[in-house]
Amino acid sequence: MKLNKSALLLSIATMASVPALAAEARPGYIGISAGQATVEDFCGGGESSCDDSAGTFRVHGGTELNNFANLEFGYRYIDDVEASGVISGVGVAISVNGHFVDTTLQLGMPESGPFKVFTKAGLMLWRLNYEAAASNGFQTFSVSDDDTGVAFRTGLGISYDVSESVRLRADWDYLVNIGDEDELGETDINVFSVGPEFKF
């Protein structure tokens, strides 16, 4: 009975606080970053040439839920990673790029001076675009395809307040199990990026 009363009181307190939270304007921010993404297991060692790193950029916006947590939404593009080689006398080349839309919860230390360190976890929708070509010296064949799915993302970050409205942010993002296991297989992606954020 005591447990039921406690649960009832907690429910009432939660419902009573919702209008107050909705009415209170929470600080928000928008930002953009650029950096480099590295696709694990893309280069298998048997290629004539392989580049598993590519440029990337991300735009994002979020709101500060409290001193410890932010809720953030973002879009990331990763440029082409490429590999080529010869299989049974036929030259083969493949390139892959990706689009990612994410929702992320950030958990950090309370701000201490201009610096803030945080960790993050969230989900993302991904889309990979494949371009492949094969040539036997007389004819060239090409094909394109794409895959979509949902995956987990995590990482770490640090920000530095330049002013009351601008801060610089550096991130490491770890994108887990990207790709179709039945097509080219799943892989993880490491991303390092930096860019400004504008608070409002």
Local structure of residue 114 (DSSP, 8 states): T
Question: What CA–CA distance (Å, rounded) separates 141 from 178?
Answer: 27
pTM score, whole prediction: 0.82
**pLDDT, tens digit, 9 for 90 and up, residues 175-187:** 999 998 776 678 9
Within-domain flag for 3: no
Give the sign of the dihedral formed by CA 113, CA 117, CA 122, CA 126.
positive
CATH assignment at residue 87: 2.40.160.20
Question: What CA–CA distance (Å, rounded) separates 155 from 160?
Answer: 17
Name the domain count of the chain: 1
Question: What CA–CA distance (Å, rounded) separates 112 from 110?
Answer: 6
**pLDDT, tens digit, 9 for 90 and up, residues 58-96:** 999 999 998 889 999 999 999 999 999 887 778 899 999
> Where in the sequence is the domain holding 178, given as residue range(s)?
27-199
Within-domain flag for 1: no
Local structure of residue 75 (DSSP, 8 states): E
Within-domain flag for 5: no
